[in-house]
Each structure stands twice: as C-alpha cells, then as structure tokens.
Structure 1
Amino acid sequence: MVRVDINCDMGESFGNWEMGRDEEVMSYITSANVAGGYHAGDPHVMDRTVALAREHDVGIGIHPGLPDKMGFGRRKMDLTPEEMTDYVVYQLGALDAFARANGATIQHVKPHGAMYSMLSESPDHARAVMEGILEVDPEIVYLATDTNIYEVAREFDSLRAVFEGYVDLTYRADRSLIVERKKESLDPELVADRFVSIALDGEVEAADGKIIDVPAESICIHGDTPNSVEILEAIHERIAAHDIELAPLSEIV
C-alpha cells in the first residue's frame, strides 16, 4: 500500500475578493496550505480556513509568501536570510494563533511563489528559514517544493521534510515547472494519470515527452484551477482503483 498526501493552497481570498473553491475542495485533500496574509489572505479568511480544515480533519500548514499582494507574492525582493526568516516566522505565528483558537495545531510549512524560488536559489536563505522554523516548533514538517530545497532540508537531522510533486502543472525535463499566468481548466483524466504515475512509480512525463523522476510523497492540487473539484473527483476515482492510501503529512514523515 502506497501512502500519499494531497495538499492544496487555500485561504487566498481577502476582503471582498475571492479566490479558489476552498469549501468544495477541502473534503478531497489531506493537507491545507493556508496563506498567511502577506501574498494573500487576511485574518478573517485565515480563521475561517483553519476552522474548515479542522472540520474536515485536514492537516493545517502555513503558506508564507512575500509581502506583495499586488503581485500575489510572485515578484522577488532583495532580502537577507534573516529578513526572509522573520517573514516566515511572523506568518507562522499568526496562523498558529488561529489554529490554537480553533483547537488545532500547525502541521507544516510550505513557502509560496517567489519566496519558494528564492529559497531554492539560495541555500543560505533556505537554511536560515529552516532554522527559524525549528526554533518555533521542532515537530513541524517542511514541505519541500523542489530538489534543491529538499536537499538543504535533509542537512537537518531534526527537521522532518517531505518532497512535493505537481500534477496540475507541467514539468520541464530539468524538473522545473511551467507556471501559466492565467489558470485554465485542465483535463481531469490527464491530471489523474499524472497523480497515479507519481504516487505509484515516482515519475511523470515532462513537456518534451521525457519521463522524469518525481519521488514525491505529497502531491499538490491548486484550488484556483477552474475545474479543481472535477480534477480531485477524477483523482479519487483512481485512488479507489489502485493500491493508494491518503494520509496527511504528519502521518507520512
């Protein structure tokens, strides 16, 4: 039996602006990456999203981003490792307070957008952020978005890390991701095929047709894809037909 986590970026609405289908998606996933208020989200959305996750017994994680709501956290900033760490710890602390208020705990950390890219490119920034996370909670899980970050995480004996794969984005042959600026509906069966391939074989087909290794124990589905619910329904049909069991990150590490 293969165990795998399905994680989803959530809580990215704020004010009168809505993003994603959080209430519909939550029942299909095992871990929720909740925006911390910098790239998206606000205190009210954070509280509601935590409560929704707890209602569905979904693991709760902070999805910290750069302070750039206008650019949805996708524009890089000139930050020292210490400044980056402070941004992550600040957002982790805020979500932890809402989790405690709802009788829950924080399971994991998964950086968003340009923050993740900067950590991938700079081991010094990545190490500083991981050290900061461990100082807050040594039991927390780091959801590593690529091999560069995962290798840094493995330098820490005390840091629990899980490698993440994507099925609603297309990989290049070098295992970088093709991120479209505008979300479009995807073929649910194609995405479900990728899910099964990664879950069972640790590999997926890249854009050029090459089969690449993606040894992921957690697979991300983006809740802001227009037909995300239909995609998740197709994935759950495949899970039922194969030797796959869903489990939150805390049970996989």
Structure 2
Amino acid sequence: MIRNDVSPTDRRFIDLNCDFGESFGAYTFGQDRELLACVTSVNIACGFHAGDPHTIREAADRSVQAGVAIGAHPGLPDRLGFGRREMAVSPQEVYDYTLYQIGALDAFVRAAGGTLRHVKPHGALYHMAGREPELAEAFVRAVRVYDPALILYAQSGSVLLSEAERQGVRGAAEVFADRTYRTDGSLTPRTQPNAVLQSAEEALAQTLDIIASGHVTTSDGTRIALQGDTVCLHGDGLHAALFAARLHQGLIAAGIALRPPHRP
C-alpha cells in the first residue's frame, strides 16, 4: 500500500478517481466530459464489461489532454450484466482477461502520448479477486508481468492489496465516496436498500470523515476503521458529475489537495 507519512487527521492530499469511458457502440453512458474537470485519475473500461475500440480511443485521448492519471479498468466478459455479475472463472482466465485488457488500453494511451499509471479491476472481478487468494494472485501477476511500475487500486483491507505487497506491486487502498459500508468493511451489495448514497452532501461528509478520522459509519451505525489512498466515485451514477464537483470543491475547501498516487 502507498503510505502517506501522516496520521489521518493531518492528511492534506488524496486522489479522487472515477470509472470512465463506459459507453459502447450506439449506447452512451456516464458524464465523462464533466467528470474530467473534477477528478485526478480515471479508470477506463477496456472492452469487456463496457467500451469498444472507438470509445477506448476517445477516452484515452480526452484523459491525456486533461492531464489526469490513466488506469486500466478490466472486468469480466459480461457486457449484458455490466460486469457486475459474478462468473465461475479460473485463475488462468483471470490472468488472461486482465493481461489482454491492460494491453488493449495501453495501446491507445501510448498512441495518445500518455502513460498508463494504474490498474483497477471492475465490478464483480473487483470483489471476487478482493476476497479469493487464487484470483488475487492471478490478477496481480498479470499486472506485474505487464508492467511492475503500475499501481494496483483495490479496496482497503482486501486480499488484493496483501497479494500486491507479496508480489512487490505498489498498492493504493481505495475507499468509496458514494457507497455505504457494512460492519465487516465490505460494501453494501447493490441488491440491498441504501447501498448507494443519494446526495452529494452525504458523499462529501463520508469522504471527509474517512480522511479526517480514519473511520466510517456503516449502514447500521457502527464505526469501523477505514483508511485509503484514493477515493472512488462511480462514473455511471445519474448525478455523477454533480457529486464529483461537490467532492472536488468540498475537499479543497477543507484544505485537502487532490493528486494521483504516482505524483509526489
């Protein structure tokens, strides 16, 4: 994990990331143009759960021009379910899917004159690799083999982060601005009520609480420890651009600088 040599109450910087480039074909999703003005890093869909060659190129071009840190967002081959349904995949399949998608995005990033900085699994793959050691090993190995300088974004406290440390890959612990937490530190499943925060003010309050105190209040009112290097805002939300603008404004007003993990 990337270590900021300060206590949570003294921290004065954080990364704000969002999922990006999730349109495909004739279908447009997200508010990419508006989000770019507010975030410091983006996770670009690589063609499995969303995205296609045209939208990947466009997302890479826009991101390079905006100067944000660019990451690959590989997911499961489940476009119909937007990559959010778990599949019975083997470690070898996870390795192959991950390596394939990183390479696809990196080709467009390089063509645009940019540099790939990080990798973050998407949706069901994020949660499966975050709790299953064999899948975590395969995912991290794919990142390491492709480019050991890449940073792995993964949920705070997940198996993926411990596996990244074991394999010598830099990890950035991720927390969520717009999702609620359960007492075990996992996210409230989207199939349950109140899984997603409904207002930008709630998202900002939760984010500031995590940064300032190193804790979060769970959906049942329990306080649990939670620290992160990067804050995720889901780019496909109905009001994603509004949330991003409020988070950007509120964090800066609180004296917290926004910058991606690879920048000192």
TM-score by length of 2: 0.90
What are structure 2's unaligned runs of at least 5 residues?
1-10
| 1:32 matches 2:42 | yes
1:113 to 119, 123, 130: 123
Deviations 1:83-118 (A, max 9, x none): 110100000000000001000111101001111122
Q: Which residue number corresponds to residue 65 of structure 2?
A: 55
Deviations 1:169-220 (A, max 9, x none): 1111111112436997821111111111122222211101111112111000
- What is the CA-CA distance between 1:145 and the residue it aligns to? 1.9
| Contact 1:185/1:226 (<8 A) preserved | no
In structure 2, do the counterparts of structure 1 residues 185 and 135 end up closer, same or farther at CA, with 3 Å as the change threshold?
closer
Pairwise mapping of residues 201-216 of structure 1 onto structure 2 (< 5 A)? Answer: 201-216=213-228
Q: Which residue number corresponds to residue 260 of structure 2?
A: 248
Deviations 1:135-177 (A, max 9, x none): 1101000001241222222222x31101000010111111111
Runs of 4+ more than 3 Å apart: 181-185
Structure 2 residue matching 1:67: 3-state secondary structure? coil
TM-score by length of 1: 0.94
Q: Which residue number corresponds to residue 7 of structure 1?
A: 17
The CA distance in 1 between the partners of 2:49 and 2:223, in whole Å, is: 33
Q: Which residue number corresponds to residue 195 of structure 1?
A: 207
The number of equivalent residue pairs is 251
Paired letter, 2:214: G
Q: Which residue number corresponds to residue 236 of structure 2?
A: 224
Pairwise mapping of residues 132-147 of structure 1 onto structure 2 (< 5 A)? Answer: 132-147=142-157
What are structure 1's unaligned runs of at least 5 residues?
none
- What is the CA-CA distance between 1:243 and the residue it aligns to? 2.5
Structure 1 residue matching 2:116: 3-state secondary structure? coil
